[in-house]
Structure 1
Amino acid sequence: MTEEGGPDAEVFRPGEVSLPEHVRSPWWRLGRRLLAAFAILAGTVALVYFDGDGYHDNNGDGVSLIDAIYYTTVTLSTTGYGDITPASERARLINALVITPARIGFLVLLIGTTIEVLTTQGRELIRVSRWRKHMDHHVVIVGYGTKGRSAVDTLVSNGLDREAIVVVDPGPAALEDAHADGLAVVTGDATRREVLKRAGVDRADQVIITTDRDDTNVLTTLTVRQLNPDAWIVASAREQENAPLMKQSGASSVITSSDAVGRLLGLSSLSPTLGSVMEDLLTYGEGLEVAERDLLVTEVGKQPQQLPDQVIAVVRDEKVFRYFDPVVTQLARGDRLIVVRPAKELPWAPRPGTHDEDFAVESD
C-alpha cells in the first residue's frame, strides 16, 4: 500500500495496532542488567575475600579467592550450603546489611528480565487499550510512502501532535519508518473495514489517502465515507481522469499528483524564477507560505487588497471566492482568508491573530 511497494507488499500482522516505543534497544537493556549483576557479584567477592578472617571454612584452610567466589555465587543464588559461614561479628553484620540486600538485587535482576519478557505482550495490550480510549478527533494517514511522510511533516510543522496521527499501511518497512517518526501504526489493508475501525476512522476528523493505486484509493475512500460520513477526506490520484470518481466516492478533496508535478515541471522550464517561487510556497518554514486564517475585527469592511497579507481567496459560507470576485469586495464577519505571507513573523509583516487581536466571528 505504500508508494514504494505495491498490492503484493508483504503483510505484517494484519489489523494489529502497533504503538512506537520510546525505549532503548533490548540488547542495550539486557547488557545493562548483566553488567549490574556482574558488579554485584564482583563487589560481594571482594567483601568476602578481604574479610576472609571473619569466615569459617569447614576445611580449616582459610578463605581463599576461589572460596570467596564460591561463597558469593552460592550465597547470591541460593541460601548457601553452610560449608563456609560468617564467624566474626563484622562478617555477620556485612552479610546482614550488604550481602543479603545484594542477593535480593541479584535475584531481582535475573528474575526481572524473565518477567519483563513474559509481560511485554500484556503491557503492549494495555498501551493499545489506553490509546484506543483516548484516540479521538485524530488524523488517519493511509499509506506511508513519500506522500504520506510529507503530509505528516506538514501537519506536525503546523502544530499537530504526533500522538494525534495514525498510519495505516500493510508493509513492514512503513511500520519501521512510522515508528521511527514516533507514530502509531495499524498494519493491514485499508480497504478492509475492520482495519480502518482499528485505526479509529469512525472518530477521526481527517483522513489522508496516499496509496500508489487509484483503484485502492477509490475503494478506501468509499469505505472511509461509510464509516465516517463527517470526516474530511483528502485523496491522492495518480491520473486526472480518476479524480471525478474519487469525488463521487466521497473524497472532500482530490490532489492529482502526476498533473501537479507535470505543471510544476512545465512552469520551471518556461520560467525558472516562477518555478522557484512555486517551490518556495510548497516548502514549509522558510520564504513564503500559503495559509488560511480568520478575519480580524479591524479588517471587517475592508477590501482584500487593503490587508497586509496578500489575499488570494476568501472563504464565505463554505464557498471559495477569488479575491477579485465582486461578492467579496468588502470583507464581512465570519470570512476566512487564504493568504500568501512570510513563513516567519517579521517586524514589517506580523502574523495576524498572534498579538491578542479579536477575530471577526459571526457569533460576535
Structure 2
Amino acid sequence: MKASTRKKIEHFIDHPVTDVVVVVLIVVSIVLLMAELAVTSEQAKTQLGLVNDTIIFVFIAELSLRWMAETKKRRFFRHYWVDILAVVPYLRMLRILRVFRLLRVFKFGLKASKKMGWLNSSLQREAVQWFAMVTFVFVVVLFGGVGIRLSEGSHLPLSEALWWSVMSMVAGEPMGSVPISTLGRVVALGVMVSGLTVFAMLTGVISAMMVHRLGHIDTRAMDIDELSEHILICGWNRSGPSLVDELQRSAETKDRAIVIIGEFEQEPEWPASLPRPDTVYILKGDCTRLDVLQKAGLERATHAIVLADLLKERSDQDRDARTVLTAMLIERMKREIFTSVELLNRENESFLKMTGVDEIVVGTEYAASIIATATKTRGMVKVLDELLTARYGNQFYKTPVAASMVGRRVGDIHGELKRSHDVVLIGIQHNEKGSVRDVEVNPPFDRIVTHHDILLLIGRHPVDLSRE
C-alpha cells in the first residue's frame, strides 16, 4: 500500500468524528445484546439481529481499515483480538464478548483526556482514574449478568441476572443458588475476583487522592516568604534541570535557594544526582504577572534568570515577547538584581538592552558556534565541556584585583597568578561605571591594571584577590 493512502486511512480512523461514531455503535451493540436476551418474541429477535448484523458489518469495515493502516500486523491482532472474535457472525456463543467492546470506550476516553489541556493535570489524572474504575465495574456487571443468563438458561430474567452480578461482586460470593453449569461457575469466579479488584482499585484511588491533597498543602508558600538572597528562574525548558544542577554545584551559588516560576501542569522531575532538591521551590504561575513575581520574593532575590519558556504552545516570537516583558518587570521592580536572559532570536536583543538586563544569551547561536568550533578545532569540545560545567575540573571565575597589582602590566602578573594561585588570566572587565559588558578578552601585554578592574580567570577553585 502507498504511504499516502495509508496516511489518509490513518487520518480517517483517528478522526474525532470516527471515534464518536464507534463509541456510539459500541454502546448500541451492547444495548441490542441486552434486548436480545430480554425479549421472548422471535420476530423481535429477528429484527434486532438484522440491526446487530448491520453494526457488525460497520465494525468489520472499521477493523479492516485499521488492519490496512497498521504497519505491524502483530500489533493489530494484539490490540483488537477481542473485537475480532466479537464480530465473527457464526460464533453466536461468543456474543458475550461484545461486552468487552466497552474497553475501547475507555481507550477513547483516555485519548480525549490528553486533549483536555484546560484541566489541571491533577484533576485530569483523578478523572481518568475514576473513569477507569467505573468502566471496569460496568464491564464486570454486564459480563456477569450476560454470562450467567446465557449459561444458566433463559428462565432467569435479565434484570435478575444483572442484579446477581452486582451483589456477587460486592459480597465476594455467588448470591442465591450456586451456578450449575461449568460456564456459569467460571463467570461467578470471574465476578468474585473482579469484586476484590474493584475494592483494591477504590482503595488505591482514594489513598492517592488523599496523599495528593495532603502533599499539596501550601507549606512551600510560607517557605518562599522566608527566603532571601535566592535565585529566581522564570520560565522553563529542557535546559532547566541542567541549569539547576549547575547552580547547585557552583561554589558561588551552591548555598542559595532556587525558586522556579512556570505554568507547570506537573512539577518537573529531578535527576537522582541533584545535590539539594530540598532547596528548589516550584511556584506555579505566569511570570509576566507582578503579583506572581512578588510572591516568588523578587525583592529579596539576588539573581534572576529568564528562560525561553516552552511549557505552552506558542510561536518563538511570542516566547521572546514574553521573555522581554518578564525582564522589563524584573528590572522595574528591582533595578540592582543581576538578570540573565535567554532569547530564541538575536533580533529581539535590542528590546532587552533597553530594559537594562545584565546578560543576554541566544542558546541556538552558542550551540551552532560550538559545533563549528568542534569541526575546525579537534578536541575543543572537551575543553568547553570542562570549563562550562561545575561538576569537575577548571571553571571561569572573577575577582577584584589585589592592591599590589594596580599600576602593573598584564604581562607582569600572568606568571604571578599562575605561581601563587594556579589560575590563568583570560580577560579583564572594566567596572568603573558598573558596566559588565566592557570586557577585554586576552588583554595586551602592556595593558595597565587599575583598581576598577575585575580579573576573569580560569582555575580549579575560586580566588579572591581583594583580600591580598
Pick the TM interval, shorter chain.
0.5 to 0.7
Counterpart pick for 1:313 among 427, 449, 454:
427
Counterpart pick for 2:447 among 326, 329, 332:
329
Following superposition, the deviation at residue 198 of structure 1 comes to: 0.9
**Aligned match of 1:170:** 263
Does residue 229 of structure 1 match 2:335? yes
Unaligned runs of 5+ in 1: 1-7, 14-116, 345-350
1:64-118 CA distances to partner (integer Å, 9 max, x unpaired)? xxxxxxxxxxxxxxxxxxxxxxxxxxxxxxxxxxxxxxxxxxxxxxxxxxxxx89
Counterpart pick for 1:291 among 383, 397, 401:
397
Does residue 277 of structure 1 match 2:383? yes
TM-score, L = length of structure 2? 0.45
Q: Decide which structure has greater helix share.
A: 2
Q: Contact between 1:175 and 1:187, CA under 8 Å: does it hold in 2?
A: no
TM-score, L = length of structure 1? 0.56
Residues 164 and 9 of structure 1: CA distance in aligned 2, closer, same or farther (over 3 Å):
farther
What is the rounded CA distance, in whole Å, between the counterparts of 1:302 and 1:156 in structure 2? 36
Range that drifts further, 165-174 or 184-193? 165-174
What is the rounded CA distance, in whole Å, between the counterparts of 2:329 and 2:229 in structure 1? 18
What is the rounded CA distance, in whole Å, between the counterparts of 1:315 and 1:289 in structure 2? 17
What is the rounded CA distance, in whole Å, between the counterparts of 1:232 and 1:292 in structure 2? 15
**Aligned match of 2:281:** 184
**Aligned match of 1:201:** 298
Q: Contact between 1:237 and 1:254, CA under 8 Å: does it hold in 2?
A: yes
Unaligned runs of 5+ in 2: 1-116, 123-209, 311-318
Residues 178 and 252 of structure 1: CA distance in aligned 2, closer, same or farther (over 3 Å):
farther
Following superposition, the deviation at residue 275 of structure 1 comes to: 3.1
Range that drifts further, 326-335 or 157-166? 326-335
**Aligned match of 1:146:** 238
**Aligned match of 2:350:** 244
Range that drifts further, 207-216 or 173-182? 173-182
Range that drifts further, 323-332 or 221-230? 323-332
Q: Contact between 1:239 and 1:257, CA under 8 Å: does it hold in 2?
A: no
Coordinate RMSD, CA, aligned? 3.5
**Aligned match of 2:250:** 158
Counterpart pick for 2:373 among 267, 276, 280:
267
What is the rounded CA distance, in whole Å, between the counterparts of 1:298 and 1:273 in structure 2? 37
SS at match of 1:171: coil
Following superposition, the deviation at residue 155 of structure 1 comes to: 2.0
Aligned residues: 239
Q: Contact between 1:236 and 1:254, CA under 8 Å: does it hold in 2?
A: yes
Following superposition, the deviation at residue 302 of structure 1 comes to: 3.3
What is the rounded CA distance, in whole Å, between the counterparts of 1:10 and 1:328 in structure 2? 65
SS at match of 1:184: strand
Following superposition, the deviation at residue 177 of structure 1 comes to: 4.0
What is the rounded CA distance, in whole Å, between the counterparts of 1:202 and 1:283 in structure 2? 29
Equivalent residue runs for 1:45-60 within 5 Å: none
Q: Percent identity?
A: 19
SS at match of 1:146: coil
Residues 352 and 246 of structure 1: CA distance in aligned 2, closer, same or farther (over 3 Å):
closer
SS at match of 1:286: coil
Following superposition, the deviation at residue 263 of structure 1 comes to: 0.6
1:34-57 CA distances to partner (integer Å, 9 max, x unpaired)? xxxxxxxxxxxxxxxxxxxxxxxx
Q: Contact between 1:142 and 1:168, CA under 8 Å: does it hold in 2?
A: yes
Looking at both structures, which has the greater relative contact order when contacts are Cα pairs under 8 Å and sequence separation is at least 6?
1
Following superposition, the deviation at residue 325 of structure 1 comes to: 4.9
Higher-Rg structure is: 2
Q: Decide which structure has greater strand share.
A: 1
What is the rounded CA distance, in whole Å, between the counterparts of 1:325 and 1:162 in structure 2? 33
Q: Contact between 1:243 and 1:256, CA under 8 Å: does it hold in 2?
A: no
What is the rounded CA distance, in whole Å, between the counterparts of 1:359 and 1:9 in structure 2? 56
Q: Contact between 2:224 and 2:297, CA under 8 Å: does it hold in 1?
A: no
1:279-301 CA distances to partner (integer Å, 9 max, x unpaired)? 33212243332211232344344
1:178-236 CA distances to partner (integer Å, 9 max, x unpaired)? 99833111101111111111101132221101124212211211222222222221110
SS at match of 2:339: strand
What is the rounded CA distance, in whole Å, between the counterparts of 1:130 and 1:277 in structure 2? 40
Q: Contact between 1:268 and 1:275, CA under 8 Å: does it hold in 2?
A: yes
Q: Contact between 1:10 and 1:170, CA under 8 Å: does it hold in 2?
A: no
